Structure 1
Amino acid sequence: MPSTPVSPLQAEVNRLRLELETLQANNAVEPIEIGNYLLARLEQLKVTKIFGVPGDFNLGFLDLVEDYRTIDWVGNCNELNAAYAADGYARVKEHSIGVVLTTFGVGELSAMNGIAGAFSEMVPVLHLVGVPSTVQQGSKAVLHHTLGDGRFDAYLKAAENITISQGLITDKETAASTIDRVLTDCITKARPVYLTLPTNMVFERISSERLKIPLSPAWPLNDPDIESFVVEEIMKLATSAQDDMVILVDACVIRHGVRDEVNDLVEKTGFPVYAAPMGKTAVSETYERYGGIYVGSVSHPEVKEKIESAKLILSIGSVKSDFNTANFSNRSIPSRTVELHSDHTKVQHAVFPAIGMKQLLPRLTARLEACSVAARNIRIPDPSAVVPKENNEIITHTWIWPRMGKFFRPKDVIVAETGTSYFGILDIPLPEKSVLLSQMLWGSIGWTVGSTLGAAFAVRETGLNRTILFIGDGSLQLTVQELSVMLRHGLKPIIFVINNGGYEIERCIRGRHRKYNDISNWKWTGLLGVFGDPSMSQSYTVHTKTELSALLDSASFAEAGKIQLVEIMMQMHDAPRALKLQSSA
Structure 2
Amino acid sequence: MSANTQAVASLHAEVTRLRHELTTVQNAGPSADVSTVAADTMYVGQYLVERLVQLGVTKMFGVPGDFNLGFLDFVEDHPKMDWVGDCNELNASYAADGYARVNEGKPGVLLTTFGVGELSAMNGIAGAFSEHVPVLHIVGVPSTSQQKAKPMLHHTLGDGRYDAYYMAAQQFTISHSSLNSIETAAAEIDRVITDCLVKARPVYLMLPTDIAYMRISATRLKTPLNIEPPANDPETEEFVLDEIVKLVEAAQNDVIILVDACGIRHGVKHELEALCKHTGYPVYAAPMGKSVIDESYSRYGGIYVGEISHDDIKAKVESAKLILSVGGLKSDFNTGNFTYHIPTQRTVELHSDHTLVQFAVFPGIGMKRLMPKLIARLQPYKEGAFQAEVPKFEAPVPKEDNDIISQTWLWPRVGQFFRPKDIVVAETGTSSFGVLDVPLPAGAVFVSQILWGSIGWTVGSTLGAAFAGLDRGMNRTILFVGDGSLQLTVQELSVMIHHGLKPIIFVLNNSGYTIERFLHGKTRKYNDISNWKWTKLLDTLGGEEGKTVRSYTVRTKDELSNLLDDPKFAAAETIQLVELVMEMHDAPRALKVQAELSGKTNRYTA
TM-score class normalised by the smaller sequence: over 0.9
Q: Which residue of 2 aligns with 1:3?
A: none
Q: Which residue of 2 aligns with 1:575?
A: 587
8 A Cα contact 2:476 2:503, kept in partner: yes
Q: Which residue of 2 aligns with 1:386?
A: 396
Q: Distance in 2 between matches of 1:511 and 1:260?
A: 45
Q: Distance in 1 between matches of 2:459 and 2:92?
A: 10
- How far apart are 1:371 and its partner, in Å? 1.1
- How far apart are 1:13 and its partner, in Å? 6.0
Q: Please tell me the residue identity of whatever aligns with 1:543.
A: R
Please give the residue correspondences for 1:98-137 in structure 2 after superposition, counting only pairs within 5 Å: 98-137=108-147
Q: Distance in 2 between matches of 1:344 and 1:486?
A: 40
Please give the residue correspondences for 1:328-367 in structure 2 after superposition, counting only pairs within 5 Å: 328-367=338-377
- How far apart are 1:363 and its partner, in Å? 1.0
Alignment of 1:142 with 2:152, yes or no, is yes
- How far apart are 1:11 and its partner, in Å? 7.9
8 A Cα contact 1:14 1:214, kept in partner: no
8 A Cα contact 1:416 1:422, kept in partner: yes
8 A Cα contact 1:15 1:218, kept in partner: no
Q: Which residue of 1 aligns with 2:565?
A: 553
Q: Which residue of 2 aligns with 1:422?
A: 432
Q: Which residue of 2 aligns with 1:171?
A: 181
- How far apart are 1:332 and its partner, in Å? 2.2
- How far apart are 1:370 and its partner, in Å? 1.1
- How far apart are 1:380 and its partner, in Å? 1.2
Q: Which residue of 1 aligns with 2:10?
A: none
Cα offsets for 1:164-211 (capped at 9, x unmatched): 000111021111111111011101100000001111111111100000
> Matched residue pairs, number?
578
Q: Which residue of 2 aligns with 1:158?
A: 168
Is there any run of 5+ residues in structure 2 with no aligned partner, and where? 1-13, 598-606
Please give the residue correspondences for 1:519-558 in structure 2 after superposition, counting only pairs within 5 Å: 519-534=529-544, 535-558=547-570
Q: Distance in 1 between matches of 2:396 and 2:381?
A: 33
Alignment of 1:15 with 2:21, yes or no, is yes
Q: 1:36 aligns with which of 32, 36, 46?
A: 46
Q: Which residue of 2 aligns with 1:270?
A: 280
Q: 1:289 aligns with which of 290, 299, 305?
A: 299
Please give the residue correspondences for 1:74-85 in structure 2 after superposition, counting only pairs within 5 Å: 74-85=84-95
| Structure 1 residues 46 and 11: CA distance shift in structure 2, 3 A | farther
8 A Cα contact 2:174 2:196, kept in partner: yes
8 A Cα contact 1:250 1:277, kept in partner: yes
Give the TM-score normalised by structure 1: 0.97
- How far apart are 1:21 and its partner, in Å? 6.1
- How far apart are 1:23 and its partner, in Å? 8.1
Structure 2 SS opposite 1:136:
helix
8 A Cα contact 2:456 2:489, kept in partner: yes
Structure 2 SS opposite 1:200:
helix
Structure 2 SS opposite 1:443:
coil
Q: Please tell me the residue identity of whatever aligns with 1:237.
A: L
8 A Cα contact 1:187 1:216, kept in partner: no
Structure 1 SS opposite 2:180:
coil
Structure 1 SS opposite 2:413:
helix
Q: Distance in 2 between matches of 1:460 and 1:578?
A: 32
| Structure 1 residues 240 and 189: CA distance shift in structure 2, 3 A | same
- How far apart are 1:26 and its partner, in Å? 2.0
Q: Distance in 1 between matches of 2:150 and 2:119?
A: 20
Q: 2:444 aligns with which of 425, 434, 449?
A: 434
Cα offsets for 1:204-249 (capped at 9, x unmatched): 1110000000112252111111111111111111111111000000
Cα offsets for 1:407-450 (capped at 9, x unmatched): 00000000000010000000111000100000000000000000
8 A Cα contact 1:251 1:317, kept in partner: yes
Q: Which residue of 2 aligns with 1:219?
A: 229
- How far apart are 1:471 and its partner, in Å? 0.2
Q: Which residue of 2 aligns with 1:190?
A: 200
Cα offsets for 1:452-484 (capped at 9, x unmatched): 000111111110000000000000000000000
- How far apart are 1:377 and its partner, in Å? 0.8
Q: Distance in 1 between matches of 2:305 and 2:466?
A: 29
| Structure 1 residues 175 and 21: CA distance shift in structure 2, 3 A | farther
Q: Please tell me the residue identity of whatever aligns with 2:477.
A: T
Q: CA RMSD in A?
A: 1.4
Q: 1:68 aligns with which of 73, 78, 96?
A: 78
Q: Please tell me the residue identity of whatever aligns with 1:26.
A: D
Q: Distance in 2 between matches of 1:350 and 1:238?
A: 16
Q: Which residue of 2 aligns with 1:402?
A: 412
Q: Please tell me the residue identity of whatever aligns with 1:464.
A: M
Cα offsets for 1:73-126 (capped at 9, x unmatched): 101000000000000001111121110100000000000000000000011100
Q: Which residue of 1 aligns with 2:215?
A: 205
8 A Cα contact 2:61 2:92, kept in partner: yes
Q: Which residue of 1 aligns with 2:7?
A: none
Give the TM-score normalised by structure 2: 0.94
8 A Cα contact 1:9 1:221, kept in partner: no
Alignment of 1:499 with 2:509, yes or no, is yes
- How far apart are 1:255 and its partner, in Å? 0.3
Q: Distance in 1 between matches of 2:359 and 2:23?
A: 40
8 A Cα contact 2:60 2:109, kept in partner: yes
Q: Distance in 2 between matches of 1:185 and 1:79?
A: 23
Q: Percent identity?
A: 64
Is there any run of 5+ residues in structure 1 with no aligned partner, and where? 1-7
